[in-house]
């Protein structure tokens, strides 16, 4: 039976089997978000699983709850000085705990690129790029990439939905140096038709050819 309760941060501990890693910009954005809210708004999923000392005696004072989902929220909360975090406490043996951790990481899903791009466009009418970076945890390159998707031809969406041979536009954001290298390669392969040249270049690389 699950129970929602606030638990002191020093009574929580990370598990050793969480495959989800969050570092750099994304983690920094999480820290800023929690610092601004002054709380963790999404409860952690934990189980009561106290450690034992060298004599085999259960230690209840510290690390009594193992985190199944929410390790980064816990670390960020500690970093900004929070003393307790809302947690959903469940009963789970070791195998069930591992399954919960993998499952919670896997069921979050992936965003629809065009829908995400349109939401960012709407938000960009009210927020600056710097504000979007803090509020939504996207960096400048990601924001530019998604907004660029909205400049694609109208048949871009229908081509995705129909999954047929309709022409579509692929948009890449690269540096000037990278663009120059790609263009030179396409010119050498097929200067008359760069689309076919790009397909040939991709196929050769996928097949391990030079």
How do residues 43-99 score in pLDDT, each as one tens digit? Answer: 999 999 887 766 656 666 678 899 999 999 999 999 999 999 999 999 989 898 888
Question: What is the sign of the dihedral through the CA atoms of 100, 103, 105 and 109?
Answer: negative
Burial annotation 154-166 (CB, 10 A radius, 16+ → b, else e): eebeebeeeeeee
How do residues 120-137 score in pLDDT, each as one tens digit? Answer: 889 989 889 888 887 788
Q: Note whether 94 and 78 are same-domain residues.
A: yes
Residues 143 and 122: their CA atoms lie apart, in Å, by: 12
Q: Note whether 102 and 158 are same-domain residues.
A: no
CATH of residue 83: 3.90.1530.10
- What dihedral do alpha carbons 120, 121, 122, 126 form, nearest 10°? 90
Number of domains in the chain: 2
Q: Give the model's pLDDT for residue 57.
A: 60
Structural domain containing residue 146:
113-206
Question: Do 20 and 105 contact (CB within 8 A), yes or no?
Answer: yes
How do residues 20-47 score in pLDDT, each as one tens digit? Answer: 888 788 888 899 889 988 999 999 999 9
Q: Note whether 148 and 62 are same-domain residues.
A: no
Q: Note whether 87 and 132 are same-domain residues.
A: no
Residues 5 and 86: their CA atoms lie apart, in Å, by: 6
> What is the DSSP code (8-state) at residue 11?
G
Per mean pLDDT, which of 150-154, 158-162, 172-176 is the most reliable?
A: 172-176
The residue with tokens 């998604």 is: 146
Q: Note whether 39 and 93 are same-domain residues.
A: yes
Model confidence, pTM: 0.62
């Amino acid at each position: 039976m699950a129970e929602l309760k606030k638990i002191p941060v020093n009574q929580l501990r990370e598990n050793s089997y969480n495959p989800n890693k969050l570092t750099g910009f994304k983690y920094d954005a999480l820290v800023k978000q929690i610092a601004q809210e002054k709380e963790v708004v999404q409860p952690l999923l934990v189980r009561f699983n106290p450690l034992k000392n060298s004599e085999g005696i259960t230690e209840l004072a510290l690390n009594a709850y193992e985190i199944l989902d929410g390790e980064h929220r816990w670390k960020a909360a500690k970093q900004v000085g929070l003393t307790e975090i809302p947690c959903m406490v469940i009963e789970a043996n070791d195998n069930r705990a591992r399954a919960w951790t993998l499952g919670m990481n896997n069921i979050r899903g992936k965003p629809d690129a065009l829908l995400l791009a349109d939401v960012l466009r709407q938000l960009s009418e009210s927020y600056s790029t710097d504000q979007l970076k803090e509020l939504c945890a996207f960096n400048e390159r990601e924001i530019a990439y998604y907004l660029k998707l909205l400049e694609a031809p109208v048949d871009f969406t229908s081509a995705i939905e129909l999954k047929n041979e309709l022409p579509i536009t692929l948009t890449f954001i690269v540096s000037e140096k990278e663009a120059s290298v790609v263009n030179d390669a396409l010119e050498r392969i097929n200067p008359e038709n760069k689309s076919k040249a790009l397909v040939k270049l991709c196929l050769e690389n996928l097949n391990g050819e030079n």
